[in-house]
Amino acid sequence: MPLKSVDAGHTETLYVKRVVDVPYSYNAGKYVSRYLNELKEHKRIIGSKCSSCKKVFVPPRVSCSQCFQENEEFVQVSDAGSITAFTVTTVPYTDPNTGEPKKLPFTAAYIKLDGADTNIMHCINETDGKVLKTGLRVRAVFSENRTGDHFTDIKYFAVIRD
């Protein structure tokens, strides 16, 4: 059957409104569960340590991405570290954690915590591009109402002012 052509003069845009509710749960696994529990119960950040090359992965990983050995040891790392990369976002978008518009501007950064060999990604409390730079020191600020089911038990990282 041949397709009918669309009227080139048609200018009305049609919208279809639907509310889609797609609840889901997933198993965080032994390593991330322990990480989240340490955030909630003790305000501690932990990583997993490779038994071979001794690299520390935060959040914890089951195996080393360098030498493929199982990471069997958990170690505490500092709640302070250095920014290795960052971006200040000024473009509106929906916060995937809340479904609400994200308050702008905000800064997301890769942070290498003292004692870790990998970066974590999180929000920074500074949005001034003149202040922000790689190497800037930051410290975790923990949420008062930690739930143990999300990385946002760390509310944000605050710039350490000397």
Q: Which of 141, 136, 135, 100 is nearest to 123 (CA)?
A: 141
Q: Which of 73, 37, 81 is nearest to 55 (CA)?
A: 73
Residue 95 located in a structural domain = yes
Q: Among all chains, which residue has been given the structure tokens 């089951």? A: 62
Confidence of residue 25 (pLDDT cuts 50, 70, 90): confident
Residue 119 located in a structural domain = yes
Residue 79 located in a structural domain = yes
Residue 1 located in a structural domain = no
Confidence of residue 99 (pLDDT cuts 50, 70, 90): confident
Q: How many helices (H) and strands (E) does the chain have?
A: 1, 8
Q: What's the pLDDT score for residue 2? A: 57
Average pLDDT, the chain: 91
Confidence of residue 6 (pLDDT cuts 50, 70, 90): low
Based on the structure, what is the number of domains in the chain?
Answer: 1
Q: Does position 159 have pLDDT exceeding 60, yes or no?
A: yes
Taking residues 78-107, what's their average pLDDT? 91
Q: Does position 8 have pLDDT exceeding 70, yes or no?
A: no
Q: What's the pLDDT score for residue 74? A: 97
Q: Give the global pTM.
A: 0.81
Q: Which of 128, 127, 159 is nearest to 141 (CA)?
A: 159
Residue 40 located in a structural domain = yes
The 10 Å Cβ neighbour count of residue 99 is: 7
Residue 2 located in a structural domain = no
Taking residues 45-54, what's their average pLDDT? 96
State how far the Cα of 131 lies from the Cα of 83, in Å rounded to an integer: 12
Residue range(s) defining the domain that contains residue 102? 29-159
Q: Looking at the chain, which runs of residues are DSSP E strands?
A: 45-49, 56-57, 73-77, 80-89, 106-113, 119-124, 137-142, 154-159
Q: Does position 86 have pLDDT exceeding 90, yes or no?
A: yes
Residue 83 located in a structural domain = yes
Residue 3 located in a structural domain = no
Q: Does position 97 have pLDDT exceeding 90, yes or no?
A: no
